[in-house]
Amino acid sequence: LVSRKEKSEDTVINVNGELIGTGAPSFVFGPCAVESYEQVAAVAATIQEKGLKLIRGGAYKPRTSPYDFQGLGLEGLKILKDVSKEYGLGVITEIVTPADLDHALDYIDVIQIGARNMQNFELLKAAGATNKPVLLKRGLAATIDEFIHAAEYIMSKGNENIILCERGIRTYEKATRNTLDISAVPILKQETHLPVMVDVTHSTGRRDLLLPCSKAAIAIGADGVMAEVHPDPSVALSDQQQQMDIPTFNAYYEELLKFMKQY
Ligand code: PEP
Ligand code: MN
């Protein structure tokens, strides 16, 4: 169902008035994790100022160590909802288990399925049975074919609104947190009719690479870019190394706009 052979036109997904998949890049910025109302609101204000329509932030955080911050859970969803109303933004947030899905739907606009859950087939099927758009991330070590099959799980349950997100894969290279597989973007666009985004934060794990990799994503035809922004990354409860503070984010976005004008 996700194949280009089944449907030749691009799927376009409307989230809070933002059309994802038209060819013009959409942007998803926001903190790694929801930590407090004030923290999310500070980022939301700068997103709104730029005329952008979407915000991200994790309420349920899949962490490598069980002793690391696991997210605020339902409290985090409530913060996201309050901030999104106040600033007029659509909310993208990760759900990690089917058990949380039903009640989460009242708080969010897009269900994110994270890299670690790309082959959580019960979660894929449960998200497929909802009518919310799903942002599906590529698994840590998933082939493109496995990624496409994961999207098929969602669509097979009736949900056609799926955004694919390349977020880097594990290789032997240690210079970056993961290896951004930029060629996955045109391959996914050829093989499927779905919008394809690039998460530059989790793929690189390096603040200094966010701008060049965002440019690469746009140049190669991605439908959008995701990156993390935190009012003070030095005290962030997750991903301190890779989130942009707000002045850095402002400069990053300005450079990106200049870059896009060349197209
Ligand atoms: C995230 O976007 O918050 C996240 C945990 O990313 P990934 O699933 O790509 O690691
Ligand atoms: Mn993160």
Q: Where are the domains of the chain?
A: 13-261
Q: What are phi and psi of 44, to 5 degrees?
A: -60, -40
* DSSP state at residue 176: S
Q: How far is CA 190 from the centre of its chain?
A: 21
> 82: how many CB neighbours lie within 10 A of its CB?
15
pTM of the model: 0.98
Beta strands in the chain (DSSP E): 13-15, 18-20, 26-30, 54-56, 90-94, 110-113, 134-137, 162-166, 196-199, 224-228
Atom nearest to 33 CA in ligand 1: 3
Q: How confident is the model at residue 145 (pLDDT cuts 50, 70, 90)?
A: very high
Instruction: List the one residue out of 203, 201, 148, 212 whose CA is nearest residue 170.
Output: 203
User: Which tokens go with 230?
Assistant: 């935190």
Mean residue pLDDT across the chain? 98
Mutate to test the pocket of ligand 1, among 94, 180, 230, 241 (most ligand atoms within 8 A of CB): 94
- Among protein residues, the one with the nearest Cα to ligand 1's atom 5 is 114
Cα–Cα distance list, 40 to 36, 65, 176, 235 (Å)? 6, 24, 27, 14
Q: Residue 160 carries which side chain, given as an amino acid letter?
A: E
CA 240 to centroid of ligand 2, rounded, Å: 9
Average pLDDT over residues 120-140: 98
Average pLDDT over residues 69-80: 98
Mutate to test the pocket of ligand 1, among 137, 179, 210 (most ligand atoms within 8 A of CB): 137
Average pLDDT over residues 205-215: 98
Superfamily of domain 13-261: Aldolase class I (3.20.20.70)
CA 262 to centroid of ligand 1, rounded, Å: 30
pLDDT at residue 123, as a whole number: 98
Instruction: Kindly report, residue by residue over 12-47, the tens digit of the pLDDT.
Output: 999 999 999 998 999 999 999 999 999 999 999 999
Residue 247: which residues within 8 A CB-CB, separation 6 or more? none
Nearest ligand (C-alpha, residue 135): 1
User: Which tokens go with 132?
Assistant: 């919310």
Buried b / exposed e across 8-40, counting CB within 10 Å, b at 16+? Answer: eeebebebeebebbeeebbbbbbbbbbbebebb
Q: How confident is the model at residue 86 (pLDDT cuts 50, 70, 90)?
A: very high
pLDDT at residue 72, as a whole number: 98
Average pLDDT over residues 64-76: 97
pLDDT at residue 32, as a whole number: 98
Cα–Cα distance list, 51 to 25, 83, 245 (Å)? 13, 16, 19
Nearest ligand (C-alpha, residue 205): 2
Q: Which residues surround ligand 2, an ion (CB under 5 A)?
A: 32, 239
Predicted complex: ipTM over 0.90: yes
**Quick check: helix, strand or coil at residue 117?**
helix
> Does 263 have pLDDT greater than 90?
no
Instruction: Kindly report, residue by residue over 147-199, the tens digit of the pLDDT.
Output: 999 999 999 999 999 999 999 999 999 999 999 999 999 999 999 999 999 99
